[in-house]
Amino acid sequence: MTGPLIDIRGVTKTYLSGSVETPVLHGIDMTVERGDFVSIMGASGSGKSTLMNILGCLDQATGGTYLLDGVDTLSLGRPQLADIRNRTIGFVFQSFNLIKRMSVAENVALPLIYGGMGRGKAQARAMVELERVGLGELGQRTPSQLSGGQQQRVAIARALATDPPLLLADEPTGNLDTQTSDDIMHSFQQLNRERGITIVLVTHEADVAAYSRRLVRLKDGRVLYDGPAADGLRQFTTMPAGVAP
Amino acid sequence: MNPIQVLIESFRSMAANRLRTALTMLGIVIGIASVVLLLALGDSMQRFIGKQLQMLGTNMVYIMPGGDRTAAQRAREGKVAVLTRGDAEALNTLPSLTGAAPALQGSFKISAGNENLSSTVLGVTPAMFTIRNWKVDQGTLFGEADVRASARLALIGQKVADQFFYRADPLGRYLRIENVSFQVVGVLAGEGRQPDGTDLSEQIVVPITAASAHLVKSPFPQNVHYINAQGRPNVAMSDAIEDMKEVLRDRHRIRVDDPDDFRIQNLSEIADTANKISAGVALLLGLIGAISLLVGGIGIMNIMLVSVTERTREIGIRMAIGARPNAVLLQFLAEAVVICLAGGLVGIAIAAGGAALITKFADFEVYLTVSGMLIACGFATAVGMFFGFYPARRASRLLPVDCLRYE
């Protein structure tokens, strides 16, 4: 399919708590082309996580339109949204979000099973993904037996198991030390370049954002900057410039 | 997600919390065990009564002198209520009956050799053999001629034979009843309780005339203690009873407005009532079991709700990677059903053990039926479905974004 992978127009989000309305996003316009690598930055409360949740179809926008891969997501019901999360989006979270009771391989196979694949086939496919992130031997361990970096790699393998075109990462290095963060970001860059996977990640670290090609900076629910990452990072002098990849 | 996968996940999450799973199951185990056992007990009781009923003979009635009024009332009215052999003979010709037989009954001193005891002796006519379906193992039954001749002949039960003629052939030997010699002509076949409460194998049966002349020694030799009658299988019992009433009222010259001076007791009716009572008791016991199932079910619901809350984040993760709401619902529902079904199977096993114990120690055969077990499994599944549905639906309706934020 041609056209941008992500196309959001005038997206607003207002939270209701009781009768008090709290607007978080005030009309965001943003497109992400296939194969792009975008960082979303912003201070706490700028709405970057909310935007991420909407992009990931974990939450629905209050207003505006959101075309994901040409599909109008705001008109879809919950089962269809689940299918989109299954096939079109891979998630990587700050806290890894692996299911502790299951082995590493089972965690990676789970999206495939929800996608309707048989157990044996899904396990085999999961092992392939684990090999790719360099954890082929650890498939039978449980997540708690792995280091943080390893767990995040498992999460990446899980996110990519169904071969989705889009990878969404919410502070993927937030719980990792600098060395491991760099490793993970290198992997992202590799995935973007070699497999052509579109990546959108949320971070508040300039070092991390520096790995991306494009930067979207949010402030109070509005887009403050949208352009090349290097320029964007330079503009904000309070932030140290990232290490060029 | 295929069913096998759903089951594997259910077992896994049950295994993750073994103690909790076991405790949750306990309510279902107790509930199912009691329902199954009590249903089996009710079943066995009914079978037992059915067997008794068969032994009594179907369509059997007892006719006793006396009606609803007391002897004192009748005495004031100057009437004496009696039944006679003539009454029995008249009833015997009724087309709605297969037969009617008179009987005299009393407890007398019996002796033979050194053995001495007091026992019930029954005086009957051969018609009684037909109605009660009595047969002999050895020897012969006595006939009409023997009755007419007041022959001092006796039929004895197997236990009586063993007691008085241990290992010896009793045929042709003599028993002394109230110091009158009776010759044993036959040994009655079979054993078991009779409608009058005696055991067939402990019975001593003599011709009614001989009983009247030598044992009861009544000044009215025609009087009998009761009459047994059996309705024809193709005739409604109520019609047969009406016929009998008509004959007896006519013979006793009772005026239209006056009450009967006899009582007709329908044995199958009594058995029917007993049957109904036992069914009612079984139902009541089953109900108690059902209540414990209900309580167990509420326990399941409670634990499932806790489990949903505990696993909110996991639910969020599953939804994020593509679990449809229905898949989440199915998963929690399956867990509830698996817990209930496992509890049900344990319950059935316990009930089977209980049934075996009762059978062994209570001399009363109780066994579980396949249908009972299937019903129990169905019941357990239904409880799981019913009480698991609400928590499962709640889990499936959670929003992924809220779940992922949940700590």
- Kindly state whether residues B99 and B42 are assigned to the same domain: no
| pLDDT > 90? residue B20 | no
Whether B162 and B308 map to the same domain: the answer is: no
Sign of CA dihedral B357, B358, B363, B369: negative
Domain end point (choices B202, B232, B260): B260
Task: State how far the alpha carbon of B90 is from the alpha carbons of A122, B222, B242, B244, B248, in Å.
Answer: 90, 13, 14, 9, 8
| Per-residue pLDDT at B191 | 67
Residue A14 lies in a domain: no
Task: Decide if B63 is inside a domain.
Answer: no
Q: Looking at the domain assignment, is residue A118 inside a domain?
A: yes
Asked if A113 reaches chain B (Cβ–Cβ under 8 Å), the answer is yes
Measured in angstroms, the CA of A42 and the nearest CA of chain B are apart by 19
Q: Please report whether residue B35 resides in a domain.
A: yes
- Pair B122, B212: CB distance under 8 Å: no
Above 70 in pLDDT, residue B197? no
If you average pLDDT over residues A81-107, what whole number do you get?
Answer: 93
Give the lowest-confidence range in B48-62, B148-162, B335-349. B48-62
Residues B254, B353: one domain? no
Least confident stretch, A13-27, A75-89, B271-285, B288-302: B271-285
Q: Which of B317, B323, B401 sits opposite A97 (nearest CB)?
A: B317
Cβ contact (<8 Å) for B322 and A87?
A: yes
Domain count along chain B: 2
* A83/B317 touch (CB, cutoff 8 Å), yes or no: no
For B225, which DSSP code? S
Q: Are both B252 and B302 inside the same structural domain?
A: no
Q: Is residue A64 part of a domain?
A: no
Kindly indicate the confidence band of residue A26, based on its pLDDT and cuts at 50, 70 and 90.
very high
User: What is the reported pLDDT for B70?
Assistant: 64
In the predicted model, is pLDDT for residue A245 greater than 50?
Answer: no
Boundary residue ending a domain (B229, B260, B291): B260
Q: Cα distance from B12 to chain A (closest Cα, Å)?
A: 8
**ipTM score assigned to the predicted complex:** 0.92
**Confidence check: pLDDT of B336 > 80:** yes
Task: Identify whether the C-beta of residue B326 lies closer than 8 Å to the C-beta of residue A79.
Answer: yes
Neighbours of A234 (CB within 10 A): 12
Q: For residue B120, what pLDDT is reported? A: 86
* Max avg pLDDT among A212-216, B189-193, B376-380: A212-216
Q: What is the pLDDT of residue A1?
A: 54
Does residue B351 register a pLDDT over 60?
Answer: yes
Question: What residues form DSSP beta bridges with A63?
Answer: A12
A138 or A240, which is more confident: A138
What residue has token string 């040994």? B187
**pLDDT of res. A243:** 46
Residue A240 scores a pLDDT above 80: no
- Condensed to tens digits (0 to 9), the pLDDT of residues A173-227 reads 988 999 999 999 999 999 999 999 999 999 988 999 999 999 999 999 999 999 8
| Residue where one domain finishes, among candidates B221, B240, B260 | B260
Mutate one of B9, B14, B310, B321 to test the A interface: name it (highest A CB count within 10 A): B321
Q: Is residue A240 part of a domain?
A: no
Quote the pLDDT of residue A156. Answer: 95
A192/chain B closest Cα distance in angstroms: 20
User: For residue A80, what is the nearest residue in chain B, using CA coordinates?
Assistant: B324
Q: What is d(CA A133, CA A157) in angstroms, rounded to the nearest whole number?
A: 7
Question: Are B34 and B169 in the same domain?
Answer: no
Whole-prediction pTM: 0.72
Indicate whether A110 pLDDT > 80.
yes
Nearest-neighbour CA in chain A from B347: distance (Å): 29
Q: Is residue B60 part of a domain?
A: no
- As a whole number of angstroms, the distance between CA B325 and CA B96 comes to 71
Which pLDDT score, from 0 to 100, does residue B254 have? Answer: 85
Nearest to B149 by CA among B206, B210, B103: B210
Statement to judge: residues B256 and B276 lie in one domain:
no
pLDDT tens, residue by residue, B86-140: 999 899 888 888 889 999 988 899 988 888 888 889 999 998 888 888 888 888 9
Domain span at B221: 82-260
* Chain A CA closest to residue B311: A99
> In chain A, which residues have their Cβ closer than 8 Å to the Cβ of B314?
99
Q: What angle do CA B181, B184, B186 make, to 5 degrees?
A: 160
Does B192 share its domain with B341?
no
Q: Looking at the domain assignment, is residue B72 inside a domain? A: no
Owning domain of residue A156: 100-163
Instruction: Tell me the β-bridge partners of A25.
Output: A13
8 Å CB contact between A52 and A13? no
pLDDT of residue A241: 47
pLDDT higher than threshold 50 for residue A152: yes
- Summarize the confidence of residues A97-103 as an average pLDDT: 91
- Residue B162 pLDDT > 50, yes or no? yes
Verify that B283 and B339 share a domain, yes or no. yes
Domain count, chain A: 1
Q: Is B71 a member of any domain?
A: no
In this structure, are B279 and B233 located in the same domain? no
Yes or no, beta carbons of A93 and B404 under 8 Å apart? yes
Asked if the structure places residue B70 within a domain, the reply is no
Please indicate, yes or no, whether residues B32 and B98 belong to a single structural domain of this protein.
no
pLDDT band at B68 (very low <50, low <70, confident <90, very high): low
Verify that B195 and B294 share a domain, yes or no.
Answer: no
pLDDT band at B56 (very low <50, low <70, confident <90, very high): low
* Residue B12, in any domain of the structure: yes
Strands A20-32 and B83-84: unpaired
The answer to whether position B58 is within a domain reads: no
CA dihedral B330, B335, B339, B342 (to 10 degrees): 70
For residue A151, what pLDDT is reported? 95
- The pLDDT of residue B75 is above 80: no
The string of pLDDT tens digits covering residues B248-278 is 998 988 888 888 888 888 877 777 787 788 7
Regarding whether B125 and B253 lie in a shared domain, the answer is: yes
For residue A132, is it within any domain? yes
| Pairing mode of beta strands A214-219, A37-42 | parallel
Percent of the residues in chain B that have a pLDDT greater than 90, as a whole number: 30
Cross-strand bridge partners of residue A10? none
- What pLDDT is attached to residue B167? 76
CB-nearest to A82 from B16, B324, B404 is: B324
- What is chain A's mean pLDDT, rounded? 90
Q: Is residue A112 part of a domain?
A: yes
